[in-house]
Amino acid sequence: MVKSLKVVVTGASGFIAKNLRKYLSEKNIELVSISRKDFKNFNSETKIISKNYKENNLFKKIQNSDALIHLVGIGKQSVNTDYDMINTDLTRHIVNLSKKANIKKIIFLSGLGVSANTSLGYFISKYNAEKQIIDSGLDYTIFRPSYIVGKDDLLSKNLKKQIKSGEIIIPGSGTYSIQPIHISDVVKVLFESVSELRFNNKIFDLVGPDYITYENYVKLFSKGTKTRIKKINLEEAYHNAIVNSKSSFGIDDLNILIGNFKGNHKKLSQISKINFQSVLSFL
């Protein structure tokens, strides 16, 4: 049964997509992967480079696929690229494309903390994207991930860069908590959601079993190094984020980090057949 699956992956050059595509290709899934940037493709993978996902040649290649896993998104805005343009409008386009191409299901990565009550620009763009998918009439699974960690994830890269400089900055108290999930579990869950009907038309928090304070996570991550851990007050952290585009944290990075969002790992664990790993065992 597995061999007959055909899956489309958008945002193919990103961290999650690279790991997912490797996992799916090892399972002999027929893969069509699309990205705005060039990327190295796996065996039996159709590679499409597309700046705006609007090329005509795209349609024929993705037609009648079992699922489209939409992984394009941004977590930082600029004057050229804002949240609505990428997180909402592009999702609307992908949904319409999926319907025209007779794709059976769409799987979307939103964000932990996204809800109808949010006032955060990033979350609003993700919530509006979720609505496009839910209202589309297509089968869907929406995941709201916490920090997804593994080789070359953004959080680890940021911390490693700070370790190299000899100092890790903790904004505020550091007592707010995160619920990281390992990339190896994420790709398994995404695969299950393609092939298992019990995932259809549901929303899940994509979170690991550990709920750990950011300060403790940083201490575990930097153990064995001589890195100094420095707390700065939030006012200073936000000021840096506003005036310095190269600061360790963007404004919404800080909002998400200190948001203290807790996901429902039990619900994910019950529907999935995965024995989730503790991210802490990798540190």
Share of the chain above pLDDT 70, in %: 99
Q: How do the domains of the chain map onto residue ranges?
A: 2-149+180-209+262-282
Rounded to an integer, what distance in angstroms lies between the CA atom of residue 136 and that of residue 100? 12
Query: CA separation (Å) from 114 to 63, 163, 197, 256?
Result: 31, 31, 24, 10
- Is 7 in a helix, a strand, or coil? strand
Tens digits of residue pLDDT in 84-133: 888 999 999 999 999 999 999 999 999 999 999 999 999 999 999 999 99
Pair of tokens at residue 72: 């394009």
Share of the chain above pLDDT 90, in %: 84
Residue 44 three-state SS: coil
Pairing of strands 228-232, 181-182: unpaired
Fold of 2-149+180-209+262-282: Rossmann fold (3.40.50)
pLDDT one-digit tens code per residue, 139-187: 999 999 999 999 989 999 999 999 999 999 999 999 999 999 999 999 9
Dihedral (CA of 156, 157, 160, 166) sign: negative
* Euclidean distance between CA atoms 270 and 75, whole angstroms: 30
**Neighbour count for residue 89 (Cβ, 10 Å):** 16
What tokens appear for 47 in the block? 């590679």
Judge whether 50 and 33 are in contact, CB under 8 Å: no
